[in-house]
Structure 1
Amino acid sequence: MSLATKFGGYTYENPFMNASGVHCMSTDELDEMDNSRAGSFITKSATTSHRAGNPEPRYFSVPLGSINSMGLPNQGIDYYLNYVLDRQKSHPDSSPVFFSVAGMSVEENLNLLKKIQDSDFNGTTELNFSCPNVPGKPQVAYDFEMTQEILSKVFEFFKKPLGVKMPPFFDFAHFDAMANILNQFPLAYVNCINSVGNGLYIDVETETVVIKPKDGFGGLGGEYVKPTALANVRAFYTRLNPSIKIIGTGGIKTGQDAFEHLLCGATMLQVGTELYKEGVSIFERLEKELKEIMEKKGYSTIDDLRGKLNSL
């Protein structure tokens, strides 16, 4: 029984990671991820310099998940780049980690990626095309022309492994159109999905919203979004070039949730809301539960089941 996953030329002990934005703001949190049972981890989506993010409260746990409008709080790219470069020197034999960037403009995205290209970072970079929680800014991935323009400019100079994090899509025509764009580029992976944007949760006792930014509108995560996440993983797995891997994110709370993402075609799995609620001990539990399901079903490796979802 093995949960080993091959990704980007490396083998990871298991497919589990944190979702960018959760348990990765500080070096202390990144160290905890590194020392956990997770197969790998990703840094907080970085901008050029430190961002305080949106006013609090900006995250709220609800019975079936979470709602947040964080506003990209982060320590700036140098903080995270120095961390991953130091880790490379101190752990030369470890599988490389993932580095997330999310510029507030096309120009900033290009500059962030140029900095990574010019550095000694040997891992995989994730370009966040889905930031639904920044007031006044649309999600890049919902502007198909902009998505194509950015990727065209990026791959003129960026030669390291690059993946993109996508918001959810809800229409077959959009799956088709976005896949046609993504297939034009040598992407390492597509991450499906970021939070479902602009939900609203109400506290009936106080008759108010539960987060401060955007009059209470925020991205939904957790159990709420799993069916949407699974649909996006499956839709892109069946449309993208086989060389483009899928990272499944959204609603992973149990080993069964992980199994479902893998069945839809995911190669690695990111955990957000439930990691926030449980802490890094969740990875040990998920690993155990996934192995139990695979053993019960007679699967000895993840490759035996990945993408094998049946239709009726």
Structure 2
Amino acid sequence: MTCKPQLMSKFMSGLTIALGGGAGFVAINLYKGNEKFYNSFVMPILHATVDGESSHRLAINMAKYSFLPNFSSKTSEHKNLKSSLWTLEFNHPIGLAAGFDKDGEAVPGLAKLGFSFVEVGSVTPNPQSGNEKPRVFRLKEDEAIINRYGFNSSGHEAVRENLTKSLSNLKPTVVGINLGKNKTSTDSIGDYVKGLEVFGNSKFVDYFVINISSPNTPGLRDIQLKDTLDPFLDGILNAKAKLNITKPLLVKISPDLNDSERKDIAQMMIKPRLSGQKIDGLVVTNTTISRPPSLKSCHSSESGGLSGQPLKNLSTQMIRDMYCLTKGSIPIIGVGGVADGQDAYEKLRAGASLIQLYTALAYRGPSLVSTIVNDLSQLISDDGFSSIEEIIGIDAKQTTK
């Protein structure tokens, strides 16, 4: 099945509507982040006229130059959503997943959308362009995206400069760095250690994620296999100890692991290490290479990682499994298919301490975080709970009784 190209007439139609409605009206609604306006007007026009990767670039530039609305004050007022983890303070559990701001260009602007934390990357040691275009595909009927970017990155030094430039006056949110390896590198451990060396003592970075689960870098997911993962983690943690880095180190894993692989990874994550270091958390999950039969889009056969709504249940089950297998001893950042407060609530109850999203932002616009935070706070209150800590893993605990 193939997709027909978008027609210029759709753009002209949208432009006519915008002009007819009045430039002032449009500008006010854009600035205020009116949810209905974005959902019924801006996002459909954007999707009809701009391809996925160009739209992504446009969103980064809008955030970089502060053209997005400010919801930060609205998302920081819910006391029942505040939490503390790894000595870091979070106004609420909703953060931006890696893959959006790959080069750390737009953290302040993204923080204005209300995110409690922003994860930058994946960042590779040396600059690389990634895979050939086109490499981003919207599955509109499924509210999903398939990407095969392949760790396109400006490299460690450029990202460090970007963070220094954008955050030197004000660091408005918790910042994580998602580390990857160069495609042609034969020293996987060395590539990740270089990331720790460059960012380890940066005052602009609060935690690190070792990404060994992207499906778009050949051989990367093989690191998750038991015989490879154990010495790999030893190498990373030994280097972290020698560099005297005390910031949290997390590992991002795939949703496509079988039951045996999940058990192996859980054991490796909680295993005591001679270095005295430990893995501080898991990011569950990355995109999936599976293709549910329910997919409707003509792009569903494209290769790459699938994210968005079709990943939601697979991700939530993976969170529940890892929470149970580690006996809740290691914090989890849950990511995959979060588009509303109920989605976030389910992941917290499955065992996540924090939540990330990305794909839903491309479909529902900049007011999404504020909406999710408000709804999540209400859901927790309606169920008789007063804090995030009370609900983490509550469903997983019930399934193991």
User: Residue 102 of structure 2 contacts residue 123 of structure 2 at CA under 8 Å; is this kept in 1?
Assistant: no
Counterpart Cα distance in 2 of 1:192 and 1:75: 25
Counterpart Cα distance in 2 of 1:280 and 1:79: 27
Equivalent in the alignment of 1:271: 357
Counterpart Cα distance in 2 of 1:20 and 1:305: 25
Greater share of helix: 2
Residues 124, 210 of structure 1: CA spacing in aligned structure 2 closer, same or farther, 3 A cutoff? same
1:245 shift after superposition: 0.7
Alignment partner of 1:148 out of 230, 235, 240: 230
1:122 shift after superposition: 4.7
User: Residue 196 of structure 1 contacts residue 219 of structure 1 at CA under 8 Å; is this kept in 2?
Assistant: yes
1:238 shift after superposition: 1.7
Alignment partner of 2:153 out of 74, 79, 87: 74
The AA in structure 1 aligned to 2:125 is T
Gaps of 5+ in 1: none
Comparing 118-127 with 56-65, greater Cα deviation is found at 118-127
Counterpart Cα distance in 1 of 2:225 and 2:219: 12
In our comparison, the structure showing a higher alpha carbon Rg is 2
The two structures have a TM-score, normalised by structure 2, of 0.69
1:74 shift after superposition: 1.9
Greater share of strand: 1
Comparing 141-150 with 266-275, greater Cα deviation is found at 141-150
Kindly, what percent of the aligned residue pairs are identical? 21
Comparing 107-116 with 158-167, greater Cα deviation is found at 107-116
Gaps of 5+ in 2: 1-78
1:164 shift after superposition: 0.8
Equivalent in the alignment of 1:30: 107
Q: How does 1:107-186 map to 2 (within 5 A)?
A: 107-117=190-200, 119-134=202-217, 136-158=218-240, 159=245, 160-184=247-271, 186=278
User: Residue 284 of structure 2 contacts residue 319 of structure 2 at CA under 8 Å; is this kept in 1?
Assistant: yes
Residues 290, 120 of structure 1: CA spacing in aligned structure 2 closer, same or farther, 3 A cutoff? closer
Equivalent in the alignment of 1:40: 117
User: Residue 54 of structure 1 contacts residue 70 of structure 1 at CA under 8 Å; is this kept in 2?
Assistant: yes
Residues 217, 237 of structure 1: CA spacing in aligned structure 2 closer, same or farther, 3 A cutoff? same
The AA in structure 2 aligned to 1:55 is E
Counterpart Cα distance in 2 of 1:122 and 1:27: 11
Residues 119, 163 of structure 1: CA spacing in aligned structure 2 closer, same or farther, 3 A cutoff? same
Counterpart Cα distance in 2 of 1:221 and 1:132: 12
User: Residue 132 of structure 1 contacts residue 198 of structure 1 at CA under 8 Å; is this kept in 2?
Assistant: no
Equivalent in the alignment of 1:193: 285
Q: How does 1:218-237 map to 2 (within 5 A)?
A: 218-237=304-323
The two structures have a TM-score, normalised by structure 1, of 0.87
Deviations 1:262-310 (A, max 9, x none): 0011011010211232343211111111122122212221112111113
1:243 shift after superposition: 4.8
Counterpart Cα distance in 2 of 1:283 and 1:10: 20
User: Residue 103 of structure 1 contacts residue 112 of structure 1 at CA under 8 Å; is this kept in 2?
Assistant: no
